[in-house]
């Protein structure tokens, strides 16, 4: 950890962010960060509770003279996406994030940084512990498990929160105010398989695709980056014709991250070994040509390996390869109403062989519920034809924009006074918790904003230092300008 991070402005935010980097907090393993936040609230002498799903709520009374203002909920999520480069030794359950300053950015050493959503949480903490910032009644809402299912937002109950305005601080472009987001659905797929003995005369190989940029499957799906699962399968489609047998496969790691790597152990008749090696070299050349503008570090390699204990039966392998080939992936449709916004997309995030089946996962997103449902049927149809079991789960709604929002007008005015221009008003092709939270509290006026973060959900994640300072000053000025009830 670069200690110079403590010297960055605003120090009130950066010191809290440093504290968050020292606490392991991958999704589904948030016990330590939840306890840390509860202790944080109690040390400040503030009313602090944790609900039945692990959301932490900290309440702070209004500062003198601000008691009549509308209540504000400062909201961020506690978990982070655990992604690392394959050559990085890091245990997300035990090790702190190694953050450091890189020119105009703060980034991490070979892992995700956790600025998503650590920056929003750190800013809320700074407001809660401040003694010289004017604000009305404040509630810090720190939600659980946003990245792998929005469990915290799904579990929020009516009446537990008293505020009128939700400021979600989980957006990633400073100078933009977000008033809408896509909804999502998880497609969980199991393709039954059988194991067989490795055929006589076969030799073993390990095939690896790596070096892809990956990234957030909502924000960066529009960039046309390579999908390691689709690329590996494209090669496998040809390799099967040479007699290739699949021992195991492991591609991607998280449902909401574009897969950066894929690893397969295969066998091939010894007579075709050189042909298999040549095919990998040829596909690497093809992939590098096709993706040269977006994947400069792409690597597709093969090396001889020990024979696996067994291989997947021929019929299951063919079904798998054909289904993945036919599975939609990437941008499906652009928005008619918001120029440049992705309306509907899907990400083939995970392909992993288990003992009796192949597990696959896709995350489907759309700002149009009917399009999302139709895409779910499309993915289901492809894999059901292959004999797989498909379950569509975790469906969450989008957030419909309200261009007449009073807090939108307030924040536009505040930003213009601070920085001399009106911030852009946007919708986002990613899942924000606003849609779920607004369903429970339909009276809330909601905005999402934040500092500039690039490459979230990947080891290239970084946050722009100057944007954090602008975001912080904007937050302070917004709280001062909150209207009376």
User: What are the φ/ψ torsions at residue 221 (nearest 5 degrees)?
Assistant: -65, -25
State the Cα angle at 207 between 206 and 209, rounded to 5°: 145
CA pair distance 320, 233, nearest whole angstrom: 9
389 is catalytic: no
Helix (H, G, I), strand (E, B) or coil at 382: helix
Q: Which of 23, 206, 218 is nearest to 125 (CA)?
A: 23
Whole-angstrom CA distances from 398 to 369, 372, 431, 432 are 8, 10, 7, 8
Dihedral sign from CA coordinates of 41, 45, 47, 51: positive
* Residue entry with tokens 């392998």: 317
30 is catalytic: no
Q: What is the DSSP letter of 284?
A: H
User: Which residues pair with residue 425 across a beta bridge?
Assistant: 177
Residue from 79, 173, 220, 433 carrying the catalytic annotation: 79
Residue from 30, 129, 146, 461 carrying the catalytic annotation: 146
CA pair distance 79, 56, nearest whole angstrom: 12
Residue 419, both tokens = 């920085």
User: What are the φ/ψ torsions at residue 342 (nearest 5 degrees)?
Assistant: -70, 130
Q: What is the DSSP letter of 78?
A: S
CA pair distance 15, 368, nearest whole angstrom: 40
Residues identified as active-site? 79, 146
């Amino acid at each position: 950890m670069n200690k110079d991070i403590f010297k960055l402005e605003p120090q009130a935010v950066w010191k809290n962010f440093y504290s968050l980097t020292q606490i392991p907090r991958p999704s589904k393993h948030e016990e330590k960060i939840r306890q840390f936040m509860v202790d944080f609230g109690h040390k400040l002498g503030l009313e602090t509770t944790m609900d039945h799903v692990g959301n932490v709520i900290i309440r702070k009374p209004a500062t003198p003279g601000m008691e009549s203002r509308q209540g504000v909920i400062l909201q961020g999520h506690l978990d982070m996406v655990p992604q690392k480069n394959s050559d990085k030794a890091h245990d997300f359950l035990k090790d702190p994030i190694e953050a450091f300053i890189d020119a105009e950015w703060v980034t991490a050493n070979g892992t995700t940084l956790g600025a998503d959503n650590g920056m929003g949480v750190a800013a809320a903490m700074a407001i809660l512990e401040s003694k010289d910032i004017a604000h009305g009644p404040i509630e810090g809402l720190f939600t659980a498990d946003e990245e792998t299912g929005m469990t915290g937002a799904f579990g929020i109950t009516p009446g537990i929160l008293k505020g009128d305005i939700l400021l979600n601080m989980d957006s990633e472009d400073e100078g933009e105010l977000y008033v809408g987001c896509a909804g999502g659905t998880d497609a969980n797929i199991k393709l039954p398989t059988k194991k067989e003995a490795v055929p006589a005369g076969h030799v073993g190989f390990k095939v690896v695709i790596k070096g892809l940029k990956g990234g957030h499957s909502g924000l960066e799906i529009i960039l046309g980056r390579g999908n390691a699962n689709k690329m590996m399968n494209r090669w496998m489609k040809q390799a099967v014709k040479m007699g290739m047998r699949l021992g195991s496969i492991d591609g991607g790691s998280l449902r909401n991250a574009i897969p950066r790597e894929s690893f397969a152990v295969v066998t091939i008749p010894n007579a075709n070994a050189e042909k298999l090696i040549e095919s990998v070299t040829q596909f690497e050349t093809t992939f590098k040509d096709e993706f040269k503008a977006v994947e400069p570090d792409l690597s597709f390699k093969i090396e001889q390996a020990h024979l696996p204990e067994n291989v997947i039966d021929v019929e299951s392998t063919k079904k798998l390869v054909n289904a993945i080939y036919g599975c939609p992936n990437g941008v499906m449709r652009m928005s008619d109403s918001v120029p440049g916004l992705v309306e509907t997309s899907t990400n083939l995030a995970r392909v992993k062989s288990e003992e009796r089946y192949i597990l696959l996962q896709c995350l489907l997103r759309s700002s149009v519920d009917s399009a999302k449902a139709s895409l779910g049927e499309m993915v289901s149809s492809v894999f059901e034809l292959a004999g797989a079991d498909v379950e569509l789960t975790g469906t969450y709604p989008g957030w419909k924009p309200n261009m007449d929002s009073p807090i939108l007008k307030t924040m536009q005015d505040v930003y213009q006074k601070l920085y001399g221009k009106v911030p852009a008003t946007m919708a986002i092709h990613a899942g924000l918790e606003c849609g779920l939270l607004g369903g429970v509290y339909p009276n809330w006026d909601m905005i999402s904003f934040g500092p500039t973060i690039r490459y979230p959900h990947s080891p290239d994640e970084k946050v722009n230092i100057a944007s954090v300072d602008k975001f912080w000053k904007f937050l302070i000025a917004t709280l001062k300008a909150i209207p009376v009830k």
